[in-house]
Each structure stands twice: as C-alpha cells, then as structure tokens.
Amino acid sequence: MMKTNSGNFFEDYSIGQVIRHAVPRTLTGAERALYHALYPARGALYSSDEFARSCGLRQSPLDDLIVFHTVFGKTVPDISLNAVANLGYAQGRWLKPVWPGDTLTSESEVIGLKENSNGKSGVVWVRTTGRNQHGEAVLEYVRWVMVRKNRDTPTPEPVVPVLAPVVAPADLVVPRGLTFASHNDTLSGEPYRMGDYTVGEVIDHVDGVTIEEAEHMLATRLWQNTAKVHFDATFRPDGKRLIYGGHVISLARALSFNGLANAQMIVALNGGAHANPCFAGDTVRAWSEVLDKAETDAPGVGAIRLRLVATKGTAGALKDDSGKYLAEVLLDLDYWALLPN
C-alpha cells in the first residue's frame, strides 16, 4: 500500500533542488487534431502546414499551449499534488518550436521557499524547463504554489526570488526563420496588423462556449495531468470537478481569434492568475487588452503584449474597488504574441 505517490510536501523541497519529472511524451499531429476538437482554435499558423511554410517554418509546429500543457502536466505529481493554491506564473518563454514527432521531458528547479506564519504550509517557487529529445530547452517558466506541510519540521530561511513583472522585449525568442514578410491576411482571417492595435485598446471576443465535463477531462488527461480534483467527482464536498486552469487558458486564447487572428504565436508568459474556479456548465467568454507593443529582428514580425481575460460574464470588468477579482472572472493572463507589422 506504500508504493503509490503521495506527492511532495513543503518540507520536502530545498533551494537548488532539481526534480526531473517522469513520463516523457512524444507529440504528433494527433495532438494538434485533438486540440482543434477541444478548443475553437483557428490560428492559421498552427492549422496549416502550408501557411506555416509561407511564414518560413518547415511545417506547422505544435501549438504553443500544447507545449505548455505537456510540460506543465509532467510537473503535477511532483509539484502540485499537495498544493492548496496555484499562485502565479512569471518569466515564461517559448524557446524553440516543437515539431510533430518530438519527445518532451520536463524538469524543475526549486528557486524559492517561504513558510507561512501558521507553520502549516508554505510557498514554493520552481523554474520549470521543457526539453526536446535533443536536450534543447523549448519552454521555461517560473510557477509558485502554496503547498501543505506534512511534518513538524523547522522553518527554512525564506528565499523569495526576484521575478520580472514582464519579459523584456529584448528577451523574446522568435523561432528561427520566422517571417511575416508575406503574411496572408485573407487566409489568416483578419486584416489587423501591429499598427491597427493601440495600447489600452480592449477587444471583446464576443463568442461563448459552454463547457462539458467530458471535454475538460479529455483535455487534461491528454496533457497527462493527474490532479484528482479534475477527474473524481467524489473528491470535493460539493461533488464538482474543478476544471484545470490550463483548459480555461486554451479556451480563452482560442476565443481571442475573433479580433486577434493575427496574434499567431505566444512567445512569453509574463504572469497569470486563475481568479476563480471554473466548472462544467459555465459559459466562458473572453476579452483582451493591448498592454504594449515591441519590435523584433525578424522580417515583418512584431510583438504584442496582451492581457487575456476569461469570464463567465460580460466583457471589460475585472476587479472590484478593493482590487479583488470579480466573481465572474476566471483568468487574467499576461502574454507576448508575435503579430505581423
């Protein structure tokens, strides 16, 4: 009865510790097809090999969020099995495209630890790196979670990493060879380019999707995320299955096509909050705010910094007077995407 993984507790982590996560995964065009079935994804670069080739890539890479979910899913048994809360993301960067046939592994380094004053839990910061079969880093990001203590151990010296609030434009990695010099706006679906977006502009993505249990479980399993709370209706007292936050990210990002069709690739994750839990039956909508714009060295390729908000309600509202997220807000994500100049 002792062979099953009971996960790590706060006292099991130490600064500098490196955890190599289990179960490598080969991704193929099938994950792309499933992604299209699970989310209303329509980005041309991830939908069409021909479109990707017209942008200088050898074929359509795996969607940036497929890579994120796959790398993230592997960390769950080691990082978040005993987590009380998923507190934040920072300094996420996509470093290389992942191609059909590539095999991903995932590794995390503990970079911060701070026990809570109640002595019953603490915050753990990890820097997670996803690698392909050649050992090349394809994605890295920092995540911090609140984790329960299991034993009465001494409080460690607090180490709180200094995290940039946003990835600097100079640190964005544009996939080698990418060009939007001959970007076809008819095929991509919208004519709007960098110059058409202004900082502060808010875009209501209009469409809504009502989520079913089967859908979020299919998705979450596909990323080999094993957190019980997503699958076992007997786990929570209210009999509800909590939807994996990444499912809401992918859903909102796909909905944002309508108004941001040319924001082709996510290259950085500046931050994010899962503001409220999401459950089956919720109808998810999304809106975006343009936060910043930047140049890149690649031909015709600009970078746009976006706030992506998923809600169960209407567009535009985010927090109440006290700075607390409104109950209808599910997600507040801050990312950089590549968009034609």
Distances (CA, A) of 172 to 99, 122, 301: 20, 32, 12
Quote the least distance from Cβ 25 to a second copy, whole Å.
5
CB of 108 to a second copy, least distance (A): 13
Q: Whole-number minimum distance, CB 99 to a second copy, in Å?
A: 13
Q: Which is nearer to a second copy, 116 or 221 (CB)?
A: 221
Q: How far is the CB of 194 from a second copy (least distance, A)?
A: 13
Q: State the DSSP code for 63.
A: P
The contacts of residue 301 (CB under 8 Å, 6+ apart) are 174, 178, 179, 180, 338, 339, 340, 341
Question: Which residue's entry shows tokens 């059909």?
Answer: 100
- Separation of CA 164 from chain center: 17
Whole-angstrom Cα distance, residue 71 to residue 334? 19
**Cβ 268 to a second copy, closest distance in Å?**
22
- Report CA torsion sign: 156, 161, 162, 164: negative
Nearest to 101 by CA among 134, 73, 53: 134
Nearer Cβ to a second copy (117/234): 234
Instruction: Write the DSSP assignment of 268-336 as a string of letters.
Output: EEEEEEE-S---TT-EEEEEEEEEEEEE-SSTTEEEEEEEEEEESS-SS--B-TTSPBPTTEEEEEEEE
Q: How far is the CB of 53 from a second copy (least distance, A)?
A: 9
CA–centroid distance for 77 within its chain: 18
State the minimum distance, in angstroms, from the CB of residue 39 to a second copy: 7
Q: Which helix (DSSP H) or strand (DSSP E) does residue 26 occupy?
A: strand 25-26
Which CB sits closer to a second copy, 136 or 171? 136
Angle between the N-to-C axes of helices 213-222 and 245-255, in degrees from 0 to 180, rounded to the nearest 10: 100
For the CB of residue 116, give the shortest distance to a second copy in the complex, in Å: 27
Task: Judge contact between 184 and 54, C-beta under 8 A.
Answer: yes
Nearer Cβ to a second copy (1/170):
1
Task: Select 251 or 269, whichever has its Cβ closest to a second copy.
Answer: 251
3 state SS of 4: coil
Of 145 and 222, nearer to a second copy (C-beta) is 222
Give one DSSP letter per residue of 217-234, joined into a string.
HHHHHHTT---GGGT-TT
In angstroms, give the least distance from the CB of 37 to a second copy: 4
CB 178 within 8 A of CB 103: no
Q: Which is nearer to a second copy, 23 or 168 (CB)?
A: 23
| CB closer to a second copy out of 164 and 233 | 233
Query: Of the two residues 114 and 305, which places its CB atom closer to a second copy in the complex?
Result: 305
